[in-house]
Structure 1
């Protein structure tokens, strides 16, 4: 029997705007919202001319991170994504523009595929507008990769210390390069390790992301509800703390006389009673080694919805980091030093955002009209994809919950819902390449996560591949499918065998090209792509993940189908079915 969880929410799709509205209402003296997306939470007295802007962000569900650390002396703005999903480039741009005081902006976020892609795309656009941008991905989780691959590690509760130090550096008037360097120094000196005793559940699904026995625990869990690096029998608090602390102390090379800052962080459903028991043991370990705790925090600072568990984070201090840590700040979730009095609003410089370039008019008479897939049929195919993803979203999220964070079906449905909302408002005479550009924009604006930029680039690439076509025949259909694969490869960098959506799109591209070379029509080309994508998707169950959040699971990912490959297979199947239906209907007519 499927266990359903309970949450005090209204409609799941409204939870983020309602959360932001409540947060802003509770801290009207500290926070406001700027930008058209409604997802940029901005400090009322943070951004100012001549100061480096600090922008943080990531998915929701980690409260008080990220918006809770917006305020004077810390972050100037936070981009708020959907639950466990990166904010989109447009949402990040809103935050970046709000934080820009003319001295440049630093983006800070956890080292996750979706965050890296979306913040990078936003940084590229902000830089094109004339704002210098630096970005630092936090990599404090010792469990997620070996030391020699530490650049691949994910960011967990170490965000707390990196954000604090970078925000202080900017507030003290340090220049852009120096703020970036100090953020990297804090990241290099920060290590975390966590344990999970129970799974969390997404508001849209209401089911636990993974199953765990009553006498088990997950060591090295992720911050998005992912399973840990390994499962072990539940142990005592002291035993668990010893296991968490050992790799942290070893990697930081802590020795007698060193000083640290300490965070014992609850994941959402762990009591203060338990957290202070963990803190007690951490202090015993550090005292025995004569390592001084300069400052400590115990509580919920970077959560994972209602996950049961905790993490321990240490920041190894030197004089520079100590001064940054002690620098005053005032935010909803963190106040350090004397409370800062509000300051009068100062005039801000006017930012001049470049207007988007007008598209070049298309001469439809010059387009190749051979082939049965017209723009109208192509729209029908895209509508069929949207319907299929909506129908399959729970299954896709369940697949993702086993090896990831459980949101893939949800984020794909958000994207395709946005596509259908905008697509049918557009002119009926749009070409297929124009339809693809519309879909790309919808994904970028609505989705965030890794699916947003990947499918945005996929549809742009596919649209460009058939820009000279009015209709699609067999070879053009194959070119479109190849364009989808090429766009995903260019943005994500994955390859066949990494256990990603590429394992479905790449064989689909090869099969489509082969079918087209044999002179088969567009329907047969799509059928060949569909069958190859399904086989590729099924093969991912035998692979060990090398990309994305599931890569941290290693061999534990074997035996499970990749959700990105599953959604790719479902998309191609929906397209093929729509074309088959149209041809059958046409023959009947």
Structure 2
């Protein structure tokens, strides 16, 4: 496979340098706040008494999301890793910076990782007394039928939803009204795209999917998720006709209606091509007697260097038109003229960034159960080994994900497990297994975000709580640890066996572990879990995905192993190997 080229330094420095560069390039509009370093805030946006508008998502879509931070639009953006949701702590930094005492609205694309992480952040904010509302942008007509619109993913429609919500908040609308207007914009906005070529993740330098020189993918997702079908490359007018026909069939605008239009490039599509698409688009609308109130052509929601484009239409009424025309000033979008735009000195104390608490030191208590060969030291060695093997299998896991997802699973898992390894290296010798699990949960969640962050963090927390009465783990306690981890993933992700997720590896792993625990040793338990996970992982190849981004593929997801199930197997395989080595040397 051809290696790609990028003008970067070290892959691990991409996001800090991206943020530093954005803030340095636009010091009159942007600043950075909070302990995570991932919250980009409008210099003259947040103010007391105004609803805070917080947007966010994975990097790689620039200028989305931070490019829409500024007066009259978003007050702050939480910046995730490449194609991965920001973590709850990163979102909290953005929310605290945006909070002027009138509540906060979260706006983000309808992806599993974003939903999980923003919801966890919302729960924490609400527990501290801040009102929070959420709107998930779901504009992609190719990703689900109209009757299942809530399942649709967000693509370039973010552009219009953010604009409407930002204007409403800037005009002083209350929280419920800002939420309602954002949802109204969401309901009025439809998009569809086409991809001609793949992008590549900076960490791998490889295209995240393969497509023939004479092929195109109709309905491609913003992260490289396959579309509804692959066809031979067609002329621009033919492609535009197909995208517009799908959008207009559902939108059903009448003669005399008004729309706003966005023709969006995905990263490496020339303006020549985008204007050719717009030329045909305008001809179609003119023939139908539909007025274009305002149009934008360019790169507004990209996918690294993916080749392709998307078309977005928002059907307007007087209310949406007024909000669309309301002035804003951000790095990526300026509408009208901002009057009296100046940095507000009256920042609310509620926005003071609060560093996340470090895991509480868990001292060994005299009454903890000590049966079993898995001491806290051996447990941490098992987790360190899991990190080593996940990192070693990074490219394989990303390749699996590239077929049915966005190609970043291995990279995301590497980031999370490296954070876990670093956190465990700082653990004191007398830290209990429960304490180490809390440490691992915080490290993974803070480092990753995405869907993996909340899933693994919840798994670690539940597993640690299940053995909180123990110093060491015996066979039954190890099986209980595994069972609690599984339940945490199920509760957080709402997936069930047969959905083609990590659950399909976890369930047989836990079942076999519990059977082995009845009469076996600790090593028997983890070996049984490893073998169950492997069988479950292989079985996912025959399943049709029903959860996550790959659910949009339908039957096209068959024949491919689920990457989450694969990383589950790698983790349990590593734990078994580490325990075997510990027994051999004891």
TM interval, short-chain normalised:
over 0.9
Q: Distance in 1 between matches of 2:353 and 2:286?
A: 54
Q: Does 1:60 align with 2:56?
A: no
Deviations 1:250-291 (A, max 9, x none): 111111011000000000010000000000011011000000
Contact 1:192 1:314 in 2 (8 A): yes
SS at the partner of 1:295? strand
* Matched residue, 1:560: 560
* Matched residue, 2:583: 583
Contact 1:59 1:80 in 2 (8 A): yes
Contact 2:33 2:353 in 1 (8 A): no
* Matched residue, 2:310: 311
Q: Distance in 2 between matches of 1:11 and 1:358?
A: 30
Shifted more, 430-439 versus 356-365: the winner is 356-365
* Matched residue, 1:324: 323
* Matched residue, 1:495: 496
* Matched residue, 2:571: 571
Q: Distance in 1 between matches of 2:333 and 2:247?
A: 24
Deviations 1:477-515 (A, max 9, x none): 100110110000010000001010101111111111111
The 1:156/1:358 distance shift into structure 2, 3 A limit, reads closer
1:361 offset after TM fit, Å?
6.0
Note the 1:273-284 alignment, pairs <5 A. Answer: 273-284=272-283
Contact 1:209 1:226 in 2 (8 A): no
SS at the partner of 2:377? helix
1:359 offset after TM fit, Å?
4.8
The answer for unaligned runs of 5 or more in structure 2 is none
Deviations 1:90-135 (A, max 9, x none): 0000000000000000000000000000000000111111110001
The 1:358/1:572 distance shift into structure 2, 3 A limit, reads closer
Q: CA RMSD in A?
A: 1.3
Aligned length: 584
Q: Distance in 2 between matches of 1:98 and 1:496?
A: 40
1:581 offset after TM fit, Å?
1.2
Contact 1:59 1:86 in 2 (8 A): yes
SS at the partner of 2:349? coil
Q: Distance in 1 between matches of 2:159 and 2:112?
A: 20
Q: Distance in 2 between matches of 1:418 and 1:361?
A: 20
1:364 offset after TM fit, Å?
2.0
Note the 1:369-408 alignment, pairs <5 A. Answer: 369-408=370-409
The 1:344/1:199 distance shift into structure 2, 3 A limit, reads closer
Q: Distance in 1 between matches of 2:342 and 2:556?
A: 53
Q: Distance in 2 between matches of 1:362 and 1:476?
A: 19
Q: Distance in 2 between matches of 1:318 and 1:14?
A: 45
Note the 1:288-437 alignment, pairs <5 A. Answer: 288-351=287-350, 359=360, 364-437=365-438
Deviations 1:172-217 (A, max 9, x none): 0000000000000000000000000000000000000000001110
Shifted more, 222-231 versus 253-262: the winner is 222-231
SS at the partner of 1:365? coil
Q: Distance in 1 between matches of 2:521 and 2:4?
A: 49
* Matched residue, 1:551: 551
SS at the partner of 1:364? coil
1:363 offset after TM fit, Å?
5.4
SS at the partner of 2:366? helix
* Matched residue, 1:248: 247
1:248 offset after TM fit, Å?
0.9
Contact 1:265 1:300 in 2 (8 A): yes
* Matched residue, 1:482: 483
Shifted more, 316-325 versus 361-370: the winner is 361-370
Note the 1:50-129 alignment, pairs <5 A. Answer: 50-129=49-128
Shifted more, 563-572 versus 425-434: the winner is 425-434
Q: Distance in 2 between matches of 1:344 and 1:229?
A: 46
Deviations 1:345-399 (A, max 9, x none): 3322212788969959655211111011110100110010010011001110111
Q: Distance in 2 between matches of 1:542 and 1:138?
A: 31
Q: Distance in 2 between matches of 1:238 and 1:361?
A: 65
Q: Distance in 2 between matches of 1:555 and 1:274?
A: 32
Q: Distance in 1 between matches of 2:459 and 2:433?
A: 14
Contact 2:208 2:402 in 1 (8 A): yes
1:444 offset after TM fit, Å?
1.0
1:340 offset after TM fit, Å?
4.5
1:307 offset after TM fit, Å?
0.3
The 1:580/1:174 distance shift into structure 2, 3 A limit, reads same
Deviations 1:64-114 (A, max 9, x none): 000000000000000000000000000000000000000000000000000
* Matched residue, 1:34: 33
Contact 1:329 1:340 in 2 (8 A): no
1:337 offset after TM fit, Å?
0.9
1:338 offset after TM fit, Å?
2.1
Q: Distance in 1 between matches of 2:268 and 2:179?
A: 34
Q: Distance in 1 between matches of 2:473 and 2:217?
A: 50
Q: Distance in 1 between matches of 2:581 and 2:24?
A: 51
1:341 offset after TM fit, Å?
4.8
The 1:300/1:357 distance shift into structure 2, 3 A limit, reads closer
* Matched residue, 2:156: 157
Contact 2:361 2:431 in 1 (8 A): no
Shifted more, 108-117 versus 341-350: the winner is 341-350
Q: Distance in 2 between matches of 1:296 and 1:199?
A: 27
* Matched residue, 1:221: 220
Q: Distance in 1 between matches of 2:347 and 2:533?
A: 53
1:420 offset after TM fit, Å?
1.1
1:428 offset after TM fit, Å?
1.0
Q: Distance in 1 between matches of 2:285 and 2:460?
A: 53
Deviations 1:121-172 (A, max 9, x none): 0001111111100010000000000111110000000000000000000000
* Matched residue, 1:206: 205
Q: Distance in 2 between matches of 1:212 and 1:349?
A: 51
